[in-house]
Chains A and B, each alone.
Chain A
Amino acid sequence: MNAFVATFRRDVALMWLGGGALAPLGFFLGATMLVPLAMGPDRALLESAGPPLVWISAALAVLATLERLFQADLEDGSLDQMMLSPAPLEALVFAKGEAMWCVIGLPLALAGAPAAIALQAPPSLLPAIVLSLALGAAAFIGVGLIGAAVTAGVKRGGVLIALIVLPFFAPPIIFGSAVAGGDEVGAALSILAGCALAALALGPIAAAAALRLQAE
């Protein structure tokens, strides 16, 4: 348990102090800004297409942070230390994912509110959109752990991670956009929570298996 908390705090500190929290947020807002520029500022069009595009921006923002998630640990030897620890590697990987969710996922979800407002989403939907983005970020991170772990040893693996991970982003995107679209919000949120739980349960197991091979 100590190792879990220590890994969590270390990763939060590293991401927070290294400015790693700000960059995805800026990416998210920048990508969202491009949406009305590409579609034109037509209100009716934005109302229907805006919230799903907030979701796409959030997915891409998480994707952009994945490349370095395990690479730094592999390079500086912290990964070897994690494997020497009596705590199971799966738990430590889970701690890293949790840290990422706190530092990157939660701010993204909160930033989703102003972004959705700017894209003309009805204010009554805002709580659902923020909640869905928080759950969606957890699902993206759970799947992303696998992609990041599998490509940790590849130099400039950014595009490769995207190629590997994007098809698995499909389920959370489907149900997340359903929330943002405003129909059957409760059901879509429940399924989204299911996606997040499944991704967070399976992601660390597969990622830890991949990391053990990387460090051999």
Chain B
Amino acid sequence: MLTYLANPARFMAFSAWAAPLFFGLAVIAFAVGLPWALAFSPADYQQGETVRIMYVHVPAAWWSMGVYAFMGVASFVGLVWRHSLADVAARAAAPIGATFAAVCLVTGSLWGAPTWGTWWEWDGRLTSMLALFIIYLGYIALWSAMDDEEKAARLAAILCLVGLINLPIIKFSVDWWSTLHQPASIMRSGGSAIHPSMLGPLLTMAGAYLALFAALLMMNMRAAIFRRRVEAARMRGGEA
């Protein structure tokens, strides 16, 4: 599948219908997931209605890390096989991942104020998530600081791979420093600790975020490829 799409022409043909398709999937999943999560799922017996923030917060946290892992794979492919589409993919994913990280931090803060009694705490999970957001910003800034796209792609890929070290720190921060943020409740040995009536909307929202990421990623990549074509055409026009 991926090798098939590695050809830019095939990718353009595929994404021409896949991007709207995934966008439609995201709209449907949000249309189902948001009312389910925000109105029809049960309130928590301890947290009350504030638990609903979790349905926006947790998928954003998952996919901000997932997007970074995706960028790591794309960077590796770009670096090792010098594949330009992988570079385009890594670059196109970064603003989306940064936005997810920002959503995660903001909603977490909004949830923490009534529940923990504080907007922010310098706890391991919160701090490493903030570090992820800053790493995203540095990655984006490095891309835009370089004129030569080829070089920018390789250098940003090196930076992205170095930044991968942060992902396990975020994941295990709740186990290493058990301060404030609650540990994992879904992916844990001994089965999920969350009630099915809450797991349903949560997974729907996670699927919605993923579909949104896929759609936005392909749109960003298409925009980048079109821009490259325009530039190439302009160069040829300038020479003639």
Chain A residues at the B interface, C-beta cutoff of 8 Å: 146, 150-151, 153-154, 157, 160, 163-164, 166-168, 170, 202, 206, 209-210, 213-214, 216
- Interface membership of B16, Cβ < 8 A: no
Cβ–Cβ contact B166 & A167, under 8 A? yes
Task: Kindly list chain B residues whose C-beta atoms are within 8 Å of the C-beta of A209.
Answer: 158
Number of A-B contacts (CB under 8 A): 53
Alpha-carbon separation in the docked complex, A164 to B127 (Å): 16
B residues neighboring A (CB under 8 Å): 127, 131-132, 134-135, 137-138, 141-142, 145-146, 148, 151, 154-155, 158-159, 161-163, 166
Which residues of A sit under 8 angstroms from B166, Cβ to Cβ? 167
A160 pairs with B142, CB closer than 8 A: yes
Q: How far is the CB of B20 from chain A (nearest CB, A)?
A: 35
Taken together as a complex, chains A and B put the C-alpha atoms of A176 and B137 apart, in Å, by 26
- B141 and A150 within 8 A (CB): no
Query: How far, in Å, is A97 (CB) from chain B's closest CB?
Result: 15
In the complex, what distance in Å separates the CA atom of A216 from the CA atom of B158? 16
A163-B151 contact, Cβ under 8 Å, with A151-B142, A151-B145, A170-B131: no
Which listed residue (B131, B135, B138, B151) contacts A213, Cβ 8 A? B151
A167 x B158 contact (CB < 8 A): no
Asked if B158 and A210 sit within 8 Å, CB to CB, the answer is yes
- Note all chain A residues with C-beta closer than 8 A to B159: 146, 150, 164
Q: How far is the CA of A146 from the CA of B135 in the complex (A)?
A: 14
CB-CB < 8 A to A151: which residues of B?
142, 145
The CA-CA distance from A157 to B135 in the complex, in Å, is: 16
Chain A: CB-nearest residue to B134: A167
A residues within 8 A CB of B148? 153
A153, chain B: closest CB distance, angstroms: 7
What is the bound-complex CA distance between A153 and B166, given in angstroms?
Answer: 26
Contacts of B135 in A (CB 8 A): 167
Contacts of B145 in A (CB 8 A): 151, 154, 157, 160
Q: Contacts of B158 on A, CB cut-off 8 Å?
A: 146, 150, 206, 209-210
What residues of chain A lie closer than 8 Å to B137, measured between beta carbons? 163
Scoring B141, B162, B166 by chain A CB atoms within 10 A of each residue's CB, the highest score goes to B162
Chain A residue with the shortest CB-CB distance to B156:
A150
Known: A167-B131, A167-B166, A213-B155. 20 other contacts (CB 8 A): A146-B162, A150-B142, A151-B145, A153-B146, A157-B145, A160-B138, A160-B142, A164-B141, A164-B159, A166-B134, A167-B138, A167-B163, A168-B162, A170-B127, A206-B158, A210-B158, A213-B154, A214-B151, A214-B155, A216-B151
Among residues of B, the one whose C-beta sits closest to the C-beta of A150 is: B155
Instruction: Give chain B residues whose Cβ lies under 8 Å from the Cβ of A216.
Output: 151
Question: Hey, which chain A residues are within 8 Å of B141, CB to CB?
Answer: 160, 163-164
Residues of B close to A167: CB separation below 8 A: 131-132, 134-135, 138, 163, 166
Residue of B whose beta carbon sits closest to that of A156: B145
